[in-house]
Structure 1
Amino acid sequence: MEPTLSGRDSSEVGNTSAALYVTHNLETVAEECEDDKKANNDLKLGVLVEDSTKSQLSKYLARLLQHFTQRYQHEVEISSFDLLFMVIYCLALETGFIPEGHVLEDAQGVLRPGFDRRLMHIFSAIVPSNLYDRVNRSYRLDVYLPGIEDNCALVGIKSGDFLCLTFTILQRSDMLSQSILLPVSRYIPIINFQKLNISCQNLKDLSCRVKNNIFIPIRDALCQASSPSLYPSLIELPDEVLVILLVKYLDRRSIMRLGASCSRLKMLTDICR
C-alpha cells in the first residue's frame, strides 16, 4: 500500500478528485453523540486513550481498532507496527487533527482545535487507507487542524523493534518538525484480535509521550500562528471528559472550589460530589 497525497481544496486537484472529499455535518453528528451518551451513561468507561486499562480499551480506540482489524485482517498480515500506528492515529484525533480528504461543516462557527467527541465519533469509524509503503517500510498520514489551512504529515519509519515518528508542518520552514522513537514491543507486546485490550499496553505512557512530544507542540504552534482565540482550554472539553478529569485528579475541596468559578463547572462538580 503506497501513501497518496491529498488536499482539501478541490480547485487544486481538479473536478475528477472532488468526489474524494467527504463532508461531515457536525450538527447531525452531535445528535448521534447525544443518542450514544443516553445509551451509555457509564462515566467509568474511558474516553481518552490514556484511560484504557488492561481489561478495557477506551471507547473510541476500541471502535477504531475493531474497524481496522475487520477491514484488513483477511487481506494482509497485521503487525504490531500497524496496531501501534493506529493507536497513534487515535491520539492525533484526540489532539484535534483530522485526516486529509474530509471537510467539516459546523453552523455554530469555528471549530476549536482539541478533543471533540463529534470528531472522535466520526473518525473512529473511518480507517485511513494507503498508510503503509512496503518498499520504504514506512507509514504516512496526512492531517490538518479544522479551521487552519496548513497541512501536516505524520511519518513513521520502522527500525528494528522501534518506530521513529516525525510530525511535520508541510510548506512551513519556519516551524520545526517534532520526532520521537517508540519501542513497539512496550506498547504492542502481542497481537490478539479477539482481545485487543491485551495487545495494547502502557497506553497512558504512550499517550503522554506522543501528545507532549509530537502533536501538542505542532498544534500549539499552528494555533499561535493562526489566531490565539483558537487555542483550546479546559472549558472547551466535553462534559464527560471534564467529569472524568475532576474525579480522577481533584480532591473534594478542590472540586468545590472549581465549581465556584462558573455555572457550567458548578453543574458538573455537583455530579462529582
Structure 2
Amino acid sequence: METKCDMESGGSDTASTSSVTFQIHNLETVVEESEDANKAISDLNVGLLVEDSTKSELSKYLASLLQRFIQQYQSELEINQFDLLLVTIYCISLEAGFIPWNHQIEDNGKDFRSRYPSYDRRIVRLFSAIVPNNFYNRSNRSYRLNLYLQGSDERCVLVGIRSGDFLCLTFSVPRRTDICGKSVLLPVARYVPLLNYQKLSLSCQNLKELSHKLKNNIFIPVRDALCVDANVTMYPSLNGLPDEVVAMLLVKYLDKKATLRLAASCSRLRMLAMAYRGKWFA
C-alpha cells in the first residue's frame, strides 16, 4: 500500500507528525519483488556497502542510487560534484539504519520495528530506488535531508553547506537538546574528484574512508543515543546480523562440525546453513 506524501524532505521541523501523510512500503512485498529474493547469495564478493566500492566498481546499491539520481535530474539542473557526494552520504545513512522522514515501512501490515536498527539489505535496496526530493537549494548553496531511525519517532536533520571546495555536514535531532549534533568537514575533491556519468566508479573515490568517517563520527553516535529511548538493542547478537554476514561466516570460517552445530541452534541459522553449505546436510 502506498499513499501520496504531502510533505517533502525539506519540510519544517515544527510540523507535527500527525499532519504528515507518509508513503507506505510493505517490506514483505519489497522482498517478493526483488529479482534475487529467493536466491542464495552465491558471490559474497559483491559489494553491498558503500565502503566495499572499488576504483573499478561501485557497491550495488550506491551505483543504483547514483544512476537514478542522474537520470532523474540531469535534464533540469547542472549536476555537480557536491550533488554526487550528498547522494553518496545519503546511501551511507541508509546503511546506518536511517530512512527518509516521509516514508514508512510495514512488515506483514504492521509497523516495522527492527530490534537492531542497523544494516538491513531489504531497506537499503528499497531506498536505493527512491531518490530524495527537494534536498538541494541552489540559491543558498545548501542541502537538507530529513531522516528518522527505524524504531524511533524523532526527526533527524542532515544539513550540508558548501564552503569553497568543502562540504560542511551537520547531523542533529532538533527537538532533542540532550542529543548533541555532530559535524564534519569534507573535501569534495577527495571523494568526488570528477564527473563521469559513463563510469561512476571513477567519479567516486576513497569511499571506505568516507563511510567510516561518517558512520563513526556522525550517524552511529546519534543512532546509539536514539536507541536508548527506543528500547532497542544497539549491538546485535549473532542472530541479529544480516544474512550476508552470517553467510560469510559460514563460507569462510566454519568447518562442517561447527556449521552443523550452528544450524541446530535456530530455524533461521539452519536455513542459511543449508543455503550455503547444503552438501553437509545431505
Task: Bin the TM-score by the shorter chain.
Answer: 0.7 to 0.9
The superposition leaves residues 216-261 of structure 1 with CA deviations (integer Å, 9 ceiling, x where unpaired) of 11101100122144654553232224434777xxx74799879856
CA contact (8 A) 2:9 2:102 kept: no
Larger mean Cα displacement after TM superposition, 129-138 or 78-87 = 129-138
1:92 maps to 2:93 = yes
Q: 1:234 to 1:79 in 2, by over 3 A?
A: farther
Gaps of 5+ in 2: 1-7
Larger mean Cα displacement after TM superposition, 71-80 or 2-11 = 2-11
> Taking every aligned residue pair, what percent have the same amino acid on both sides?
56
CA contact (8 A) 1:3 1:133 kept: no
Give the equivalent residue in structure 2 for 1:117. 121
1:77 maps to 2:105 = no
Which whole-Å CA distance do the structure 2 matches of 1:232 and 1:127 have between them? 29
Please point out which of 191, 194, 219 is paired with 1:187.
Answer: 191
Gaps of 5+ in 1: none
CA contact (8 A) 1:6 1:101 kept: no
Q: 1:34 to 1:3 in 2, by over 3 A?
A: closer
CA contact (8 A) 1:259 1:268 kept: no
1:4 maps to 2:10 = yes
Which whole-Å CA distance do the structure 1 matches of 2:244 and 2:42 have between them? 9
Which whole-Å CA distance do the structure 2 matches of 1:163 and 1:153 have between them? 16
SS of the equivalent of 1:190 reads coil
Which whole-Å CA distance do the structure 2 matches of 1:129 and 1:258 have between them? 45
Give the equivalent residue in structure 2 for 1:139. 143
The two structures have a TM-score, normalised by structure 2, of 0.82
1:214 maps to 2:221 = no
Q: 1:84 to 1:148 in 2, by over 3 A?
A: same
Q: Which residue identity lines up with residue 59 of structure 2 in the other structure?
A: S
Structure 1 residue 146 displacement after superposition: 2.1
Which whole-Å CA distance do the structure 2 matches of 1:220 and 1:26 have between them? 24
How many residues align? The count is 263
Q: Which residue identity lines up with residue 161 of structure 1 in the other structure?
A: D
Structure 1 residue 114 displacement after superposition: 1.0
Structure with higher helix content: 1
1:65 maps to 2:62 = no
Which whole-Å CA distance do the structure 1 matches of 2:257 and 2:27 have between them? 33
Which whole-Å CA distance do the structure 1 matches of 2:10 and 2:25 have between them? 22
Q: Which residue identity lines up with residue 24 of structure 1 in the other structure?
A: H
Q: Which residue identity lines up with residue 110 of structure 1 in the other structure?
A: R
The two structures have a TM-score, normalised by structure 1, of 0.84
State the Cα RMSD in Å: 3.0
Which whole-Å CA distance do the structure 2 matches of 1:245 and 1:186 have between them? 33
The superposition leaves residues 58-85 of structure 1 with CA deviations (integer Å, 9 ceiling, x where unpaired) of 1110100010000111211111110000
CA contact (8 A) 2:9 2:100 kept: no
The superposition leaves residues 11-55 of structure 1 with CA deviations (integer Å, 9 ceiling, x where unpaired) of 335xxxx3xx21000111122236356397432211111111111
Q: 1:37 to 1:72 in 2, by over 3 A?
A: farther
Structure 1 residue 122 displacement after superposition: 1.1
The superposition leaves residues 118-159 of structure 1 with CA deviations (integer Å, 9 ceiling, x where unpaired) of 111210011111111222211100000122111100011111
